[in-house]
């Protein structure tokens, strides 16, 4: 089986070479390096601001709208873009963006974050332009290498990234126009479902691939056929939402969620129970499927609050998948052993605790405020721990495989002759 992501686990019996010094060139080598750092940093900072210092959110995009927007487009979507820009180099043999161009992309992202915090219409408009340019540029560079390499099974990814940007533009336009809350949530939901389709597409490919590499004699399906159904029912759900056809959206989301849960069961979850780098991904994929079912129930008026599907999908689904992916793929791309040490397991436990506490805070009874604060604290600690553990690695060159010097090529990007998974 060929590789979706280049993963070289150093042999345990061979001493690892001394870590090289930090380099700007290394930081801007592949999209995951700066964007994983940026996304995880903003995950911690934005939640801390929202829960513990909401009075600072005084810009045009403020309060709960700022929180919802930043969680989806500044955190989740940023991590997704970082992953796709990196994975595309392996799918096509060409790096979509690096060096100064990648640095410029990150500057656009940073300017948008600052602009949305500054008071005034000018700052808001400036932030909108920077953010939309970020998604447009990411879609263009992805499309350029994917279409040039004729990587047909990935043709839809630039369109999905563009869809994220379009949903973002519609949401921000509604904020500018002062639209009612229902309209704003309509576009937020569209962006959430678009991100869900991307997450399902990526996770369905990489989880069985990672699992069969890590667990001896484990054979599980890649779910190519069900993945096609999953993709199209997910897209249908988005179309039905935009058209306002609720029965169609309910059906599409329910089918997509059920397919997702069936996939997890077929992947033999019990077989990976002792591999943290795997079970965290299994849990995130299952939570994403459960969140789509909750979304279908909410649209059918079985679940009254829109906050339930948003947080099941966003916190239990996206965040759990993200903490698994930003650790697993970073270790692989950086030439580090594919093992979860104590700090990584603590990250996983903290994110799971944050998700559970955030859902408990939605219950009408109990101590919602205390649960919310505890969830925020666990969340901030988890992503702060990620930064402490991985930033020193992300700013340094990849370790060469055993037997190669740092000056020799290590095969970080697969050749064009390899087929994509």
Residue 32 falls inside a structural domain: yes
pLDDT at 364: 82
Residue 43 falls inside a structural domain: yes
Q: In this structure, are residues 386 and 326 in contact, taking their beta carbons and an 8 Å threshold?
A: yes
Side-chain-facing half-sphere of 287: CA atoms under 13 Å: 25
More confident: 100 or 13 = 100
Structure tokens at 359: 């859902």
Residue 188 falls inside a structural domain: no
Does residue 270 surpass a pLDDT of 80?
yes
How does pLDDT run across 335-365, given as a tens digit for each residue? 999 999 999 999 999 999 999 999 999 988 7
Tell me the average pLDDT of the chain.
Answer: 90
Overall average pLDDT of the 209-236 stretch: 95
Whole-angstrom Cα distance, residue 108 to residue 62?
20
Structure tokens at 335: 């030439």
Domain of 60, in residue numbers: 22-179
pLDDT confidence tier of residue 145, bands split at 50, 70 and 90: very high
pLDDT confidence tier of residue 303, bands split at 50, 70 and 90: confident
How does pLDDT run across 377-419, given as a tens digit for each residue? 999 999 999 999 999 999 999 887 654 444 343 334 433 333 3
Does residue 283 surpass a pLDDT of 60?
yes
Residue 371: C-alpha distances to residues 43, 217, 354, 368 (Å): 18, 42, 9, 5
Whole-angstrom Cα distance, residue 84 to residue 96?
9
Does residue 6 surpass a pLDDT of 70?
no
H and E: helices and strands count for the chain: 15, 0
Whole-angstrom Cα distance, residue 104 to residue 318?
26
pLDDT at 18: 67
More confident: 417 or 147 = 147
Residue 246 falls inside a structural domain: no
Q: In this structure, are residues 416 and 95 in contact, taking their beta carbons and an 8 Å threshold?
A: no
Place of tokens 């940026």: 38
- What's the number of domains the chain is made of? 1
Burial class of residue 136, CB neighbours in 10 A (0-12, 13-18, 19+): middle
Does residue 175 surpass a pLDDT of 50?
yes
Overall average pLDDT of the 4-13 stretch: 40
Residue 382 falls inside a structural domain: no
Let me know how long the chain is: 421
- Give the relative orientation of helices 320-333 and 181-214 as an angle to the nearest 10 degrees: 40
Residue 61 falls inside a structural domain: yes
Does residue 7 surpass a pLDDT of 60?
no
Residue 80 falls inside a structural domain: yes
pLDDT at 395: 96
More confident: 31 or 1 = 31
Residue 139 falls inside a structural domain: yes
More confident: 411 or 318 = 318
pLDDT at 412: 45
């Amino acid at each position: 089986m060929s590789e979706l992501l280049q993963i070289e686990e150093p042999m345990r019996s061979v001493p690892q070479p001394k870590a090289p010094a930090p380099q700007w060139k290394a930081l801007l080598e592949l999209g995951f390096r700066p964007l994983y750092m940026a996304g995880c940093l903003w995950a911690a900072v934005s939640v801390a601001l929202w829960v513990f210092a909401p009075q600072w959110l005084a810009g045009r995009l403020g309060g709960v709208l700022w929180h919802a927007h930043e969680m989806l487009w500044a955190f989740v979507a940023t991590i997704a873009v970082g992953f796709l820009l990196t994975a595309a180099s392996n799918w096509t043999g060409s790096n979509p963006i690096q060096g100064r161009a990648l640095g410029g992309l990150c500057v656009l992202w940073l300017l948008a974050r600052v602009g949305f915090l500054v008071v005034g219409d000018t700052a808001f408009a400036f932030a909108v332009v920077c953010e939309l340019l970020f998604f447009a540029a990411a879609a263009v560079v992805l499309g350029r290498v994917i279409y040039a390499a004729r990587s047909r099974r990935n043709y839809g990814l630039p369109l999905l990234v563009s869809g994220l940007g379009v949903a973002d533009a519609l949401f921000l336009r509604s904020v500018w126009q002062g639209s009612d809350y229902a309209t704003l949530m309509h576009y937020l939901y569209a962006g959430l479902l678009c991100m869900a389709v991307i997450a399902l597409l990526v996770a369905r490919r990489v989880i069985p691939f990672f699992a069969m590499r890590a667990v001896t004699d484990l054979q599980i399906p890649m779910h190519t056929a069900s993945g096609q159904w999953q993709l199209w029912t997910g897209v249908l759900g988005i179309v039905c939402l935009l058209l306002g056809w609720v029965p169609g959206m309910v059906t599409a989301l329910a089918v997509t969620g059920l397919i997702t849960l069936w996939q997890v069961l077929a992947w033999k979850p019990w077989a990976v129970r002792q591999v943290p780098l795997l079970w965290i991904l299994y849990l995130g994929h299952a939570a994403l499927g459960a969140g789509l079912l909750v979304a279908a129930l909410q649209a059918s008026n079985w679940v009254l609050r829109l906050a339930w599907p948003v947080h099941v999908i966003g916190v239990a689904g996206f965040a759990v998948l993200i903490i698994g992916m930003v650790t697993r793929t970073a270790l692989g791309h950086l030439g580090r052993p594919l093992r979860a040490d104590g700090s990584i397991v603590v990250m996983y436990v903290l994110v799971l605790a944050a998700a559970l506490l955030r859902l408990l805070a939605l219950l009408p009874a109990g101590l919602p405020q205390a649960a919310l604060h505890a969830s925020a604290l666990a969340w901030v600690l988890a992503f702060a721990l990620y930064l402490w553990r991985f930033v020193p690695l992300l700013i340094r060159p990849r370790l060469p495989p055993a037997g190669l010097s740092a000056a020799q090529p290590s095969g970080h990007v697969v050749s064009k002759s390899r087929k994509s998974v």
